[in-house]
């Protein structure tokens, strides 16, 4: 992607969220508060994606999705800062993160669900990130990519928005949770393969080198299956 997505005007909310409100509702430590001060210029509650603004029904899992625009003082943000905002707001959040220049940014989100043992609490998974987008490039991207995906309800919309952030294609019958689990396995295997390649390169004994190559081949086969 090279341009930010377009959200419906009807969903516009546009309220600045004070950092101290995030601190209060996320039990932020002194270290986390320091990260907010160092990294975050402003947090804007930009859009509320809801049944009222999108004309699609809510579900028991997802009744609304919030879009937060985060302006940074630099060009990077720690995952713990995003998580603190997520824990402070009782809805799934899509972050639109802007660098200090305001000319480029990216989307970020975790798979966020209600805790099984306490529906008032939320559980945040690992964060997914889009490619960098650039302001003013809308003419180079199709409206389908820029707009919201079509969905029959809020839960499906949430799944489809998260799927856009996956660095791998989501399989047809795969849930977003399963896709993220597969992504974690792929990344672990890629790391393992990289380590084995170094071992093969460094190994001097022929028999040991053959054995390492065999193990490396097996790992590559596993990776191909996960990527298929």
96, two tokens: 């639109």
21 and 133, same domain (yes or no): yes
Q: What is the pLDDT of residue 143?
A: 39
Q: What is the pLDDT of residue 144?
A: 41
124 and 160, same domain (yes or no): yes
Q: Answer whether residue 67 is part of any domain.
A: yes
Boundary-marking domain end, from 118, 135, 165: 165
Q: What is the pLDDT of residue 117?
A: 83
125 and 204, same domain (yes or no): no
For residues 11 and 48, is the Cβ–Cβ distance under 8 A?
Answer: yes
**What's 10's DSSP letter?**
G
Q: Answer whether residue 223 is part of any domain.
A: yes
Q: Answer whether residue 3 is part of any domain.
A: no
Tens place of pLDDT for every residue, the chain, 228 residues?
Answer: 567 899 999 999 999 999 999 999 998 999 999 999 999 999 999 999 999 999 999 999 999 999 999 999 999 999 999 999 999 999 999 999 999 998 899 999 999 998 888 877 889 999 999 999 888 654 444 434 468 999 999 999 999 999 999 999 999 889 999 999 999 999 999 999 999 999 999 999 999 999 999 999 999 999 999 998
105 and 29, same domain (yes or no): yes
Q: Answer whether residue 173 is part of any domain.
A: no
Boundary-marking domain end, from 138, 165, 192: 165
119 and 204, same domain (yes or no): no
196 and 161, same domain (yes or no): no
Computed on alpha carbons and rounded to an integer, the radius of gyration of the chain in Å comes to 21
Q: Answer whether residue 18 is part of any domain.
A: yes
Residue 22 to residues 16, 26, 33, 118, 222, Cα–Cα distance (Å): 12, 6, 9, 21, 42
Report the number of secondary-structure helices (H) and strands (E) in the chain.
Answer: 8, 7
Q: What is the pLDDT of residue 55?
A: 95
150 and 84, same domain (yes or no): yes
Q: What is the pLDDT of residue 114?
A: 87
Total domains in the chain come to: 2
161 and 185, same domain (yes or no): no
Q: Answer whether residue 171 is part of any domain.
A: no
147 and 189, same domain (yes or no): no
210, two tokens: 């053959």
98 and 189, same domain (yes or no): no
Q: What is the pLDDT of residue 146?
A: 67
52 and 145, same domain (yes or no): yes
CA 192 to CA 185: how far, in whole Å? 10
- 207 CB-near residues (< 8 Å, 6+ apart): none
Q: Answer whether residue 114 is part of any domain.
A: yes
Mind giving me the DSSP string for 100-168?
A: TTSSEEEEEEEEEEE-SS-TTSEEEEEEEEPPPEETT-GGGS-HHHHSPPP-SSHHHHHHHHHHHH-SS
**Where in the sequence is the domain holding 192, given as residue range(s)?**
181-227
Q: Answer whether residue 1 is part of any domain.
A: no
Exposure of 162 by Cβ count < 10 A (0-12 exposed, 13-18 middle, 19+ buried)?
A: buried
18 and 62, same domain (yes or no): yes
């Amino acid at each position: 992607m090279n341009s930010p997505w377009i959200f419906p005007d009807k969903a516009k909310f546009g309220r600045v969220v004070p950092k101290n409100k995030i601190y209060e509702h996320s039990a932020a430590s002194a270290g986390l508060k320091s990260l907010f001060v160092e990294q975050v210029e402003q947090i804007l509650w930009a859009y509320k994606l809801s049944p009222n603004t999108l004309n699609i029904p809510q579900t028991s899992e997802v009744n609304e999705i919030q879009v937060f625009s985060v302006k940074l003082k630099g060009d990077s943000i720690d995952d713990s800062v995003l998580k603190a905002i997520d824990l402070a707001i009782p809805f799934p959040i899509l972050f639109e993160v802007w660098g200090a220049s305001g000319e480029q940014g990216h989307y970020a989100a975790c798979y966020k669900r209600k805790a099984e043992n306490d529906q008032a609490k939320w559980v945040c998974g690992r964060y997914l990130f889009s490619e960098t987008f650039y302001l003013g490039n809308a003419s180079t991207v199709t409206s389908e990519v820029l707009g919201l995906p079509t969905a029959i309800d809020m839960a499906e919309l949430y799944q489809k928005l998260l799927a856009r952030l996956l660095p791998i294609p989501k399989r047809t019958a795969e849930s977003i949770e399963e896709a993220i689990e597969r992504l974690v396995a792929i990344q672990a295997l890629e790391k393992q393969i990289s380590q084995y390649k170094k071992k093969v390169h460094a190994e001097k004994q022929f028999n040991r080198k053959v054995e390492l190559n065999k193990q490396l081949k097996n790992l590559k086969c596993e990776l191909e299956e996960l990527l298929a």
